[in-house]
A = this chain, B = another copy of it.
Amino acid sequence: MDKRKMKYLPHKTIERLSQYRRALLLCQANGKTHIFSHEIATIQHITAVQVRRDIMLIGYTGTLRKGYNIADMISLIGKILDSEKVQNIAIIGMGNLGVAITKYFSGKRTKLEIAAAFDVNPVKIGKKYSGVECYHINQIIKIIKEKDISIGIITVPSTETIIIKNILVKSGIKGILNYTPKPVNVPDDVYLEEYDMTTSLEKVAFFVKMH
């Protein structure tokens, strides 16, 4: 799978590849070596056609009547999603959410690493969270340069979102994942992803109500 082709993978396919990989890793841990498209589909609540289509797009082929080789697929998805060298991540805001993310994520992917945490609370500074050291927020620019961090996760109170976003942009960050409910604007060369739990919850509530 060459780089030219990867660029044109649909966004939704990128998301699903990440999900497939997690599902496949679990299956592998359970001792499975092969898997059918309809099995992946059931796990992910999608159709088998969609799974096969995504797999087609990344240029992998399974074995007729035997399914897909799990190890091969994990490795191929890694070639697509992962960077060759480790991508370092900073997490800003060590409240419950920041700690939850750090705890959940640390050690999960070899090519993605939470390299630093930041907060303003003196009690937290110097402490380690799941092995990640917490620095004072006024160190962000320095540490980001030192540790070659390219991605920032914002988990501060939403009153601080914009300030932090500006610092991150100034520090030359390449991607931001904003978990606060305050949407931000970033320059074109910074990739931005935002998630607000309220949207998901209100959506569930809406469809429950409509039943």
| Contact call A207/B191, Cβ cutoff below 8 A | yes
| Contact call A83/B196, Cβ cutoff below 8 A | no
CB-CB contacts below 8 Å: A79-111 with B? 80-83, 87, 89, 95-97, 99-101, 103-105, 108-109, 111
Q: Looking at chain A's contact residues, is the secondary structure mostly helix, strand, loop, or mixed?
A: helix
State whether the Cβ of A116 lies closer than 8 Å to any Cβ in chain B.
Answer: no
CB distance from A154 to the nearest CB of B (A): 12
| Contact call B210/A15, Cβ cutoff below 8 A | no
Asked if A101 meets B197 with Cβ closer than 8 Å, knowing A203-B15, A204-B175, A209-B87, the reply is yes
| Contact call B177/A200, Cβ cutoff below 8 A | yes
| Contact call A198/B14, Cβ cutoff below 8 A | no
Asked if A193 meets B203 with Cβ closer than 8 Å, knowing A23-B183, A185-B42, the reply is yes
